[in-house]
A and B are shown apart, each in its own frame.
Chain A
Amino acid sequence: MKENKIKKAPGIGKIITYILLAVWAIIVLFPFYWMILTSVKSYASYNAEYFPKFFTLSPTFENYKEAFTAVPLGQYFLNTVIFTVATTAIMLIVIIPAAFAFSRLEFKGKNLVFTLFLALMMIPNELVVITNFTTITNLDLRNSFIGLILPSVTSVFYIYLLKENFSQIPDELYYAAKVDGTSDFKYLMRVMIPICRPTLVTVTILKVIECWNSYVWPRLITDDPAYFLVSNGIQEIRENGFGRENIPAMMAAVVVISLPLIVLFLIFRNKIMAGVARGGTKG
């Protein structure tokens, strides 16, 4: 009798565990399902529902057409791509040499500067946004890509992450390269960057996610829809778009905006999760 119980107990525990995990999976997935479902319901049928339908037999892509024609979703999308690519590219150009200097070069005041850099990591963005807003406004850079991009191109944390990785490369490689007459810059480009590619990819992906979702700074610095990013675009659509409360079309826009990052995630799943575990925020 007693032995039976011991054998059975873990089985029930497993089932409860799976039920619990499945419930959370449904809670996570349901909003995505609902957004896709609503986006293929027609405006008339959505609004005529007395009882929300959990599936539809007559999907329509009318809302997607509406999302791209009635509001400049394509423009928002393009802006976000430009912003994301430019910010990420400039960030790499800024942080790679800095990480290289900290890890490989010797100079006076290195430790002091590095400590100051680390101290900056603790400064919340909210504290510096106010002056940056004034700076960009005074420079007449509101409603421009330069104004959007410039304040977000440095990240002390990524410099730190990269510096740690650079420092793991054995010194012997450097001395060998020196003997061969390789310049520091060449060594950085030909040896360090290829070796540290995984970290660079991680940093790039994290920055892309951050850029794609950024909302506060773009909202402060742009009021001309020609420069809206997707986050501001969706807010604009919610408040003034489509002329009426067209929720299915709004959901179509939400699907379009969400898709790129989800696809990116499904391709680079392991890299992204490992990267976030090492250096993620948003929690």
Chain B
Amino acid sequence: MEKKNLKAWLYLLPAILFLGIFMVYPLIDVFIYSFEEGFNSSSQTYSGIGIYNYSYILRDPYFLQALKNTFILVMITVPVSTGLALLISVGLSSIKWLKNLFQTVYFLPYVTNTLAVGLVFMILFKPTAYSDGLINLILGFFGMSPVDFIDGPYWAKMLVLCIYTVWVVMPFKILILTSALASVNRNYYDAARVDGTSKGRIFRKITLPMISPMLFYLVITGFIGAFKAYSDAVALFGTELNAAEMNTIVGYVYDMLYGEGGGFPSYASAAAIVLFAIVLTITVINLLISRRHVHY
């Protein structure tokens, strides 16, 4: 038996080594970092232990801006993308002809490089040398005056960021909801139809409760994903997100760590832990709500 034990640990060794060095140790370290005050990266020394790093970032206007941006992004994109995905998935599961084609097309954004396709969105919204850009031209048809979506007012930039984020997260949601809808037992529908139940009522009383676990799963992963938004913003507005007023919490973490204003791992750690706390809180709240409303 001893030999067998040893062998098993040998098989696990590479995974344990990598996880230990690049996950467990950093996890402990990040908490330590966040409480070390006045950390100096070059000499690796610090002046004391305390919560100064947290109070610093909570007073840093860039962090507050990032916090605000991230919350707006989450509050808009999660409901919009989940609702839209539900609508599209219900549509998809009610048809046969072209269904496969639509499914393939809808999935495409998932396999694209966020940074690269973000540039396409940028040029769609950005004015060119002699025109206001394609989107502004379309808006012009409806009598709206042109807006600079990339370097212009805050709401316009936020709108583009939300639109791009929704575009990026839709494939996953449509995929999950379509398969959830396909797994609803047909007998329920048949029974309801025999009883002459209206379509809207069937949807509310049968379909929604049956897919509610998956819907709920999507809301949670949606929240977590949106709170970690970063590369979408970089794709649209470049790496100088603070200057563009479009930074996110994750962006703030990386900016503190590295780059122009970087070299402050303590502030970065404190911000990362604030992010983790927010995500954890939201997940717990979601779980509590779901106990009452989700039918498993």
CB distance from A246 to the nearest CB of B (A): 12
Chain A interface (Cβ < 8 Å from any Cβ of B): 13-14, 17-18, 20-21, 24-25, 27-29, 31-32, 34-35, 38, 46-52, 93-95, 97-98, 100-102, 105-108, 110, 113, 117, 120, 123-124, 126-135, 150-151, 153-154, 156, 159, 184, 209, 212-213, 215-216, 219-220, 230-231, 234-235, 238-239, 247, 250-251, 253-254, 257-258, 261-262, 264-266, 269, 272-273, 276-277, 280-283
B108 adjacent to A131 (CB under 8 Å): no
Q: How far is the CA of A212 from the CA of B108 in the complex (A)?
A: 15
A-B contact pairs, 28 of them (CB 8 A): A21-B88, A25-B105, A28-B105, A34-B123, A47-B130, A94-B14, A94-B15, A98-B12, A101-B11, A107-B5, A113-B12, A120-B23, A124-B275, A127-B26, A130-B29, A130-B257, A130-B265, A130-B272, A135-B21, A150-B18, A212-B113, A231-B113, A234-B115, A235-B239, A262-B111, A280-B175, A283-B169, A283-B221
A154 adjacent to B33 (CB under 8 Å): no
Q: Known pairs A219-B254, A234-B113, A272-B107. 7 more at Cβ < 8 A?
A: A28-B105, A129-B254, A184-B7, A254-B116, A266-B104, A282-B172, A283-B171
B111 adjacent to A261 (CB under 8 Å): yes
CB distance from A233 to the nearest CB of B (A): 9
B116 adjacent to A257 (CB under 8 Å): yes
Confirm or deny: B109 has a beta carbon within 8 angstroms of a beta carbon on chain A.
yes
Confirm or deny: B128 has a beta carbon within 8 angstroms of a beta carbon on chain A.
yes
B15 adjacent to A277 (CB under 8 Å): no
B268 adjacent to A130 (CB under 8 Å): yes
Interface residues as binary, B2-26 with A (CB distance below 8 Å gives 1, 0 otherwise): 0011011101101110110111111
Q: How far is the CA of A253 from the CA of B190 in the complex (A)?
A: 52
Main secondary structure of the interface of B (DSSP, over half): helix
Chain B interface (Cβ < 8 Å from any Cβ of A): 4-5, 7-9, 11-12, 14-16, 18-19, 21-27, 29-30, 33, 84, 87-88, 91-92, 94-95, 98, 102-117, 119-121, 123-124, 128-131, 133-134, 137, 167-173, 175-176, 179, 218, 221-222, 224-225, 228, 230-231, 234, 238-239, 250, 253-254, 257-258, 265, 268-269, 272-273, 275-276, 279
Q: Which residues of A contact B176 (CB under 8 A)?
A: 277, 283
A98 adjacent to B14 (CB under 8 Å): yes
The list of the 4 closest CB pairs from A to B, nearest first, reads A283-B172, A131-B26, A107-B8, A128-B26
